Structure 1
Amino acid sequence: MKVRAATARNSPLIVGASYEGTIAAFKYDGTRRWKNPLSGFMVHDLWCADITGDGNDEILVANADGTLYCLNLRGVVQWSFRQNDAPMYAVCVVHDAPGTPYVVCGGYDLNIYYLTAEGTLVKTIASSTYGKEKAYGSMHGHLPPNGTHIANFLRPVKVGGVEKLAVHGVMNNMQMPGYLHLFDVLADLPSLSRKCGMVVGDFRALDPDGDGTDEILMGSSKNRDQGRAIRYDIASDKNTVLDISKTRKLNAACGAGYRLPQTELLKNGSGGTQYAIFYGSNILLAPADLDGDKTEALTCRYAFNDMCKDSEGRFILASAQSGGSCIHLIDPRQSNWKADYENLTPPGKIEAILANTAAARQQLETFKKPSYERDPVPVYFMTEGTRGVEKLADSLMKKYDHMVFLNQARCNAELRDWRTDIDNEYYREKKHRKKEYTLTQQGVLDTLLPAYEGAPGIQFWGGHGNDPYFYNPETLKKVIDGAQGKKTVITWPEMSDYSENLTYLVDNLFDPVATHAKGKNATLFLRNKNIYWQGNVYQAAWKKLLSGEFAEVAVPSMEETSDKTMDLSIAGRLGLWASGAVDHWGTRCATDNPSFDRLRQISKQCLPNHFLRMLVYHLSSGAQYLNNHPVDQEYLSIYWELVAKGALYIPKREEIVSFSPVHLSMIEPDMDYMNDGTGVKWTTFWDEYVEKGEPMVFNRMNGSWPGAPVVEWDFSKYAAGTLDRRQNFLPSYSNGMVLITPPQEGVFAELNPPRGRLVDHLHPLYRDIMKEYITDGKKYYSADGTKTYSAETYYKQVEADIQSAANQLPLTVSGDVAWVCAQTSPTHLRLTLIDGGYLNPSDQTVTIHFNSVTPRKITDVLNKLRVSVNNATATATVDVPCGLFRFLDIELMEML
């Protein structure tokens, strides 16, 4: 994920950090010298410098576990520094006037630290003593304190030949640009503080003219429409900007995606200097004045996780973002280097992923759905791009009735004059900055109703979290009626409100439209964020949805960007579905799915293998509504064929036999839990949430914990098997999926709700074995409501029951895979196994543990190979190929 060049007396080395946090050193011929797994958690920053004066660099590692590690060039830890659990985020080395080196580090505890070469603390500087940032907005009255920040970057900068410390401080990882502060070494206060013009994702100090004063090159951490490389000239205090989005040829070459420009110097053909800007899958070769019209764009098939330049002028690229496993070298001194870059095809895991996918596609050609399996359920492809694969999409739609490709309808918002009918000022005044409010009600109908022609239905946005009221509710009702029975999906993205205003919104928008939609083949697709389906939805405002009153029309889905709780959201959506509160659930793949840390949006995965495996997991868990952004549809369309032919079995809820008999029921959520789970963009909540906060059932969800370890008592750890707060789209749940549901028993349960009882919707095996625990997200509660239990201790009982109850399931699976098991006939189970490395795929070996069933035979439905069973241990060992999945048909000795 990260690469640096290290200097050694004998030979230079390349140092890299893997996704798993392993540090490794390589010679330039590709030979690995050593590797050190360190803590096993994410590396946020690397710095190589000789701080001992022996001619060999030390390697300084800022780790998400809160530790700064110092390694020598043999990979041995020399010392470590740790003040608390807050992730360490930035590190560098600066020198005072006599030349004494100091290690400077900082993280999410809002301080920066000066250390000696031996790791002894010399000085602590709190950001509150000089910070200028001010929080804004409401966030329901819960904002971080003003004047604090984290050290986004720490870097040495020379001014007039004298080394200074540059600190880029931020308090929000997406919507505030932060400040650049310049300090004299060891000074308490900065000599310069300057507001930046954008969210910064890359920061380098370079001296192109050799005058002893550096220029600071910064890269944005944004989507294409805000892609910028900025040069700040310290001497003149001026910025020069290359706006990639506004240079037509660059915008066209770079395409969509979230990424950050990384800039280095490069000699041009005439001996002068130009800038090499690594931007996703592109290298932009810009002149000294950063004129976009004079900038050359090179395009590769893949984007890479990181870039640095060594002392010889070679560019070192970290692995491809799509799951790569290689470090790449580019030598601009070679005449053919540009062509080599544009034709670069990574070996290793990328090669394996492509080969494995091709093999699966070939095997699929001869697949025939077993006669004992029922007909597939319908799947709604709501926003699927078909460019380049139109023939395949058309053939699948014509041949298979359950393949439903909807038209994605686009429509301006309704004129705002009707909004005087909105009695709530908060919602009446809301406006989405990307939406034009130009249409009358008839204009809306004239735009949307023709979109039904020639299609089974349409999908369109009814609103957004920034303004849920794109249209008068009466207009939406007329659209539903105008569909004349064709499918209508109305999407509301990014709904996150949990204030007192929510009741008005639900009562006056969602409830009336949902009521009208019943029986009319219409769906309200609620594409929410963060902890919505295991938090917000349990507020009183949503009582009708929770009761099951809108089960046929409400579809919970997620926009999982910025948060780090994917392992929880799947349990929340499945819990609502299994309970009967909703009859369907949905999912979404978009280019910023990997953007759990918006300060480092390395989200230009050109090979959407991570999408493929997440979709296989969610579909095999029963999802039927898909809201995907196209990336490489030729590659991804294999999942269309898997669904069409029935190789990928999409179960009904009563067929799934991999739910844990233990479930967690949510009551009205505690406000500390809500604030923690929704404060994902603010980076400065450390003091309040960690040092003073009470341990919670769900922890470390706010913006202060990217990549950090989850605590032992966290549901994510003991139930889902999650180790860190990162991109856990493919959790293991080795004892079965632990559902998060509405309360079923005791004083918190609704009496006779329309949805019925949880067990009435599940497989019959669950009827007498379910066990319920109750929480508000912070504490556990007794069923009668008279007692509460601490998350820090009570989890042991919950964990023990989950482990014990797993023996009542037909089977469980251990290993780094996501898995689902469903009954397909009285004597057959379908087990789906998915490589669990979302962005770090790998060959996986897993163990199937047979508990309450005895298998007669196990067959891979694609390659037809048999899997042997160890009868003595009642287990089977299965290999899952890198970046892929296995679909196993398990024939049982007796009926289940």
Structure 2
Amino acid sequence: MRNKLIILVIVLFSISCAAQNFSTDGNGIRNSVIANVNGKQVIYLSELDGVISSYTISGEKLWSVPSEKKAVLFEIIAVDVDNDANEDVIAASANGTIYCYGSNGKLLWKFTPDVKVRFSEVAVVNNGKLQIFVGGNNYKLYELDSKGKLVSTTPIKGVVRKIEAGNFMDVNKQSLFLYTYNHDKFRWEFMGFLNSETKEVIKSVTINDKRLNELRKAMVTDVSIADINGDNKDDVLFFGDVSWVPLVLAVDGDFNVITKFKGSRKEVQRYAHAQGTFLAKKHEIMLQYGGILFVLNSKGELIGKSGERYGKMVYSDFVLEPKSNQLIAAGEVDGGNSVYFYNLNKKDWWKKAQKRQGRMQEVAENLDKLYEQTLNFKLPSYQKKSDKEWVMITSKKIDSKVKRLKGGDIKFVIQKAPKEGTDRSHLVAKIGKSALKKDKRGNYKSTREEIVQMARDYEAQGQPFTFWAGHGNDPFYIQIETLEKILEVAPKTCYGFVYAEMDKVDDPRVIHFVKEYMPRLAKAIRKNNRAKLYFRYKNMFWAATSHLPLWKEMFFSGKYNDILAPASEDTSNRIQDLNLAGRVGMFSGGYVNDFTMRLIDDNPTSWRPLSPGGQNSISPYLRQGVVMAAYGARYGVVANNNFTEDPGLNILFALMKSGVLPVVEKEDIQSIGSWHLIKNVDEHLIHSVDTHHNLKQYKKDDDNAVFSVGQMHWAGTSVPEHDFSNAALGVEYRWLNYMPIMPYGMVPVAPIESDKLVTKQNKPYFVSNAKVGFVNGKKVEANQFGSTITKTVKEGAKKLPILVEGASWSAIKIDKNHTRIILVDPGYINPQKREVVVKFQHRKPKSAIDILSNETVEIKNNTSKIVVPAGSIRFIDVAY
């Protein structure tokens, strides 16, 4: 009886001592780890761009260390490095450095190799002495000692996906688990266990091992090490998904599958974030997959679950706090800075309803305020309503409050994707058997007559529509004769056709499309003067690939400027800033009359397995759309994102329909400082970036380019100072750069033939081929050309009427005496309040006012200091 009372007291004490949720004073949390310091548990946290901090479990901040050079901080681990009985923290930064901070926050050492590396993983083996193993994208496994000195370098196959230490083979001796990739999201190049002393392979498994067939197809987003089967040896636990279905798989040291859980189709969630861990005291496994939290036994059998598909509170990371037996959820994938606790001693602990707090609650309140103010906005007397309408290709429903706004017009257009099953023998006769290739994701069952009838029905209903008509996998979803007929039967409601990822200039299907389809489509479209062709391309297509001869003929010849509406395809893209600058160059240079924003749930996927999805906040998509609209994007390809909360994109639509966000004409953009002109674009550089699924492309001089470190294996890395993105647009690391801060104004990218236009505008420019620069017609290495970029953009910035520091921005002429400044928090999934400085140059303003709050903005010495709320936007009208 006495023992039972003691147990009861202990349980009640642990429940009563359960920690309370808290918010940090930092920004978006990416990683968390528990450490022992001075006999107590602390939590080390890392932020997306490299900050590391330490907090007590009760939420007291102990210390914080800022980023030395911003880049994604991929992993932190806790280990006693200096042998003082306190666990320190080792961090693997994509800026190419391994950092070790003492438990007091002081830097103990750092390791930077003699070549640029995108480090992503760190692990520590302790068999009587510490062996620190780190790796990244350059096919090497580095061993460091406890003082950060290089001990050995071992060649490995593939790009490091995971390194972990554990007692995999022997209960008394640790070894190393190494997991590498050659593809950006699936399969593996090497998976096996290494002897930490000799670095020899103890055991490995090939990609063709049937036991792991499920794992070969999985996108693995988290890996954990624990003794799952109770044999006192460590096992490897994989968390991820197969075709959007959640998957948990554990293997032992012999690669036998000892645990497996696969969800049902009822739990499918597109781009859901999968994170999990082993709950040692309960001998259970937890998995968060998107909006659902699963609890499994050690065999993978379901014990319980909570949440719902596309539900709320998608966390960045989980860590177990063993002393009080609590599960800690750290940060939200939208950029949250809060820490949430689940008490594992409680029955059905997974059902606890967490209340959002901290940064993401702040963002939600900021957006509610923005929406409310926008709904009450009336056009000022000096602003004329545009004759042009916004065109949003979306099935999103518009709020009735938005419908009542009168400052602008929006046409909402649906998108359908029928696949035509018509015979292709005539195409085969022209371009060969490649014409028979089809997209495996599609069901080619529609006849020409059925597709045309769809268009005819939409015309009768007055329903505006587009068809997704082709893809790099198959440019002929719908054949040209069918497209012509669609345009004929639906002249009022057909808003055009969408094409995606057709970048390959040597593909005979693509060549046929450009040479044969485009002239016929242009002729057919011009009969109704309404439809557009929306081309979605990723990587650096709009800044570089589009300058290859085939695409240059199409996009820069002027033959199709009235029907083209270039869009981005941002799945697994690291260089959105280049695509933005490229499309602004096309628009402002007169090569196209319109361009397109794309706001879709796969946009936050820079490196898919390591880019959390499932953002609940509309903030990143909203701000991304506003920046593009502020530089001329009047069209939008906007898919449903099931994770986002209301009012969602109604905020964007309200900004458009109220006139707060005006339809922008190219001649009204007042924030273009200088230009970057492309001459004889470097095809090899383009190919290395466009081949984004291939991770094995590392070269020591990848950073010596004007458009540098853009390949997939560099995702998350820091951008060199000489690089165009950094020097001209203020982009510090390659992750999600939809909203560059543009410290010298926008710097559009256009072909060399724009030199006369740019000179006429009195704008300075510099010239490159994307790899090297040109000075007086001679090639200059990129790392030397950076000074030319800096000199040019600074010269251009001095000529601007307005210059902004600290936000993504645009300045738009409203009339001859009024300019609208649009200020946007640039942190895509790292929102935070921004202290912004606006400088007025050459022309002294009479006044400045926030057009939504009606606050007067103080102007002192031709300068204003303005706060942009976290995750939000401000609109300032300047009167002269």
Q: Same fold (TM over 0.5)?
A: yes
Aligned pairs, how many?
829
Amino acid across the alignment from 1:348: G
Deviation of 1:610 after TM superposition, in Å, equals 0.6
Matched residues in 1 for 2:131 and 2:163: separation? 16
Matched residues in 2 for 1:519 and 1:827: separation? 39
Worse overlay, 167-176 or 611-620: 167-176
1:736 equivalenced with 2:761 (yes/no): no
| Partner of residue 665, structure 1 | 677
1:91 equivalenced with 2:122 (yes/no): yes
CA shift digits 1:505-525 (9 cap, x unpaired): 311233432332224211100
1:163 equivalenced with 2:174 (yes/no): yes
CA shift digits 1:830-852 (9 cap, x unpaired): 11001111111111111111112
1:464 equivalenced with 2:478 (yes/no): no
Q: 1:834 to 1:366 in 2, by over 3 A?
A: same
Q: Contact 1:260–1:600 (CA<8 Å) still a contact in 2? A: no
1:876 equivalenced with 2:864 (yes/no): yes
Deviation of 1:768 after TM superposition, in Å, equals 4.5
What TM-score results when the alignment is normalised by the length of structure 2?
A: 0.90
Matched residues in 1 for 2:143 and 2:761: separation? 60
| Partner of residue 391, structure 2 | 380
| Partner of residue 306, structure 2 | 297
Amino acid across the alignment from 2:174: E
CA shift digits 1:255-283 (9 cap, x unpaired): 43332242323666xxxx33211223321
CA shift digits 1:721-763 (9 cap, x unpaired): 11111111110112111111122367xxxxxxxxxx746xxxx
Q: Contact 1:680–1:701 (CA<8 Å) still a contact in 2? A: no
Q: Give the 5 Å matches for 1:514-529.
A: 514-520=522-528, 521-529=530-538
| Partner of residue 582, structure 1 | 592
Q: 1:427 to 1:157 in 2, by over 3 A?
A: farther
1:831 corresponds to which of 806, 809, 821? 821
Deviation of 1:709 after TM superposition, in Å, equals 1.4
Q: Give the 5 Å matches for 1:559-708.
A: 559-631=569-641, 632=644, 633-660=646-673, 662-686=674-698, 689-691=699-701, 695-708=704-717
Amino acid across the alignment from 1:740: V
Deviation of 1:379 after TM superposition, in Å, equals 0.9
Deviation of 1:559 after TM superposition, in Å, equals 1.1
What TM-score results when the alignment is normalised by the length of structure 1?
A: 0.88
| Partner of residue 514, structure 2 | 506
Matched residues in 2 for 1:426 and 1:174: separation? 29
CA shift digits 1:807-845 (9 cap, x unpaired): 221111111x11011111111111100111111111111
| Partner of residue 449, structure 2 | 442
| Partner of residue 192, structure 1 | 203
CA shift digits 1:612-662 (9 cap, x unpaired): 1111111122111111222335233111111111112231111111111x2
CA shift digits 1:5-50 (9 cap, x unpaired): 0112331110000122111000011001001114243211111122
Q: Give the 5 Å matches for 1:44-83.
A: 44-83=74-113
Q: Give the 5 Å matches for 1:177-216.
A: 177-194=188-205, 195=207, 196-197=215-216, 198-216=218-236
| Partner of residue 367, structure 2 | 357
Matched residues in 2 for 1:768 and 1:235: separation? 68
Deviation of 1:249 after TM superposition, in Å, equals 4.3
Matched residues in 2 for 1:448 and 1:286: separation? 49
Deviation of 1:878 after TM superposition, in Å, equals 0.9
Deviation of 1:600 after TM superposition, in Å, equals 0.9
Q: Contact 1:555–1:584 (CA<8 Å) still a contact in 2? A: yes
1:773 equivalenced with 2:784 (yes/no): no
Matched residues in 2 for 1:793 and 1:642: separation? 43
Q: Which runs of 5+ in 1 are unaligned?
A: 132-147, 747-756, 760-765
Matched residues in 2 for 1:739 and 1:204: separation? 44
1:858 equivalenced with 2:848 (yes/no): yes
2:784 corresponds to which of 793, 801, 806? 793
Matched residues in 2 for 1:383 and 1:40: separation? 39
Matched residues in 2 for 1:151 and 1:225: separation? 20
CA shift digits 1:783-814 (9 cap, x unpaired): 7xx53333222331232122122222111111
Amino acid across the alignment from 1:231: A
Q: Give the 5 Å matches for 1:707-722.
A: 707-722=716-731
Deviation of 1:66 after TM superposition, in Å, equals 1.1
Deviation of 1:434 after TM superposition, in Å, equals 0.8
Amino acid across the alignment from 2:710: M
Amino acid across the alignment from 1:24: S
| Partner of residue 264, structure 1 | 278
Instruction: Report the aligned-residue RMSD.
Output: 2.3
Matched residues in 1 for 2:32 and 2:417: separation? 43
Q: 1:511 to 1:150 in 2, by over 3 A?
A: farther
Amino acid across the alignment from 1:590: I
Matched residues in 2 for 1:634 and 1:422: separation? 52
Q: Contact 1:259–1:604 (CA<8 Å) still a contact in 2? A: yes
Q: 1:426 to 1:204 in 2, by over 3 A?
A: farther
Q: 1:236 to 1:682 in 2, by over 3 A?
A: closer
Matched residues in 1 for 2:456 and 2:231: separation? 65
1:428 equivalenced with 2:418 (yes/no): no
Q: Contact 2:424–2:435 (CA<8 Å) still a contact in 1? A: no
1:231 equivalenced with 2:250 (yes/no): yes
| Partner of residue 813, structure 1 | 804
Deviation of 1:310 after TM superposition, in Å, equals 2.3
1:367 corresponds to which of 354, 367, 377? 377
| Partner of residue 803, structure 1 | 794
Q: Contact 2:379–2:407 (CA<8 Å) still a contact in 1? A: no
Q: 1:400 to 1:177 in 2, by over 3 A?
A: farther
Q: Contact 1:93–1:101 (CA<8 Å) still a contact in 2? A: yes
Worse overlay, 300-309 or 461-470: 300-309
Q: Provide the secondary structure at the position in 2 that maps to 1:514.
A: helix
Q: 1:459 to 1:414 in 2, by over 3 A?
A: same
Percent identity at matched positions? Answer: 22
